[in-house]
Amino acid sequence: MSGSTNNGLASAKSQSHREMKLVTREQVIDTGLNALQEIGISHICKVCIFHGGSCCSGCRNLSDQVGCQLRNTSCTAWLCGFLKYMLYKTGLLEEWNDFWDQVPGQDYREDFTPEMFFMKKGLDIPDMQELSAALAEDLDLLAQKQGNPDFILSLRDKLDKNIDQFYYYTSEPIHKNIKRNIDRLADPFHRFHQALSSYQPERSKYQASR
């Protein structure tokens, strides 16, 4: 009996190993950067940077007129509240989180990720440029209307906090309250919601680590 049990465990372990794929740290970073391009990160970043809210502000690895000098898994995996909201509304946030949860060694603005490691889940983000452009236009108009440069940055942080809480708590009543908060915060995103209503994602346009 012991021999058959051990054989069964060995077989299951072997099957699990076959499902994993050996990837490099650079491949994972490239996967993330390509996915961010599909999301349309440049549209959103331009708005925040214009209002003094660059996520990279103060980073020692940021070189003026050049950009980031230290590509890492941590910064690639990180999403601001607006990008997080887009993935939340398109049902892709859990896929994003599941992908990066497999990547070890993430830290603040740097990583200790091994040069090679195994992953099981890939990342398939469709083209969302139309959505991000619409959201960026909404944010620009909101900033002009409010006349307060901190408004956009505060809104970004509130969305980030509420969406994190939505996935953290499991209670249905709490979920409803948090969802209500998210909907209220995003109520002025008229162009985004209009673009989302007619959005037809082309899945598998870019697949990585599969």
Cα distance between residue 156 and residue 141, in whole Å: 15
Residue 113 phi/psi, 5-degree rounding, is -70, 130
Q: Which two three-digit tokens encode residue 175? A: 């979920």
Residue 175 phi/psi, 5-degree rounding, is -55, -45
Contact 78, 56 (CB under 8 A): no
Mean pLDDT calculated for residue range 89-98: 97
pLDDT for the residue 17:
55
pLDDT for the residue 65:
64
Mean pLDDT calculated for residue range 135-150: 89
Cα distance between residue 43 and residue 67, in whole Å: 17
What are the residues facing 67 on neighbouring strands? 63
Q: Is 148 exposed, middle or buried (0-12, 13-18, 19+ CB in 10 A)?
A: exposed
In this structure, the number of other CB atoms found within 10 A of the CB of residue 48 comes to 20
Mean pLDDT calculated for residue range 150-157: 92
Contact 77, 100 (CB under 8 A): yes
13-17, 53-57, 65-69, 124-128: range with lowest mean pLDDT: 13-17
pLDDT tens for 5-32 read 455 544 444 445 568 999 999 999 999 9
What mean pLDDT, rounded, does the chain reach?
86
DSSP classification of residue 208 = B
The closest alpha carbon to 199, from 140, 136, 127, belongs to 127
pLDDT for the residue 18:
60
123 band by pLDDT with thresholds 50, 70 and 90: very high
Beta strand 62-63 with 116-119 is unpaired
pLDDT for the residue 163:
98
| Residue 95 pLDDT > 80 | yes
Contact 102, 120 (CB under 8 A): yes
How do the domains of the chain map onto residue ranges?
15-197
| Residue 176 pLDDT > 90 | yes
70 band by pLDDT with thresholds 50, 70 and 90: confident
Residue 153 phi/psi, 5-degree rounding, is -70, -40
137 band by pLDDT with thresholds 50, 70 and 90: very high
Cα distance between residue 78 and residue 57, in whole Å: 14
pLDDT for the residue 34:
96
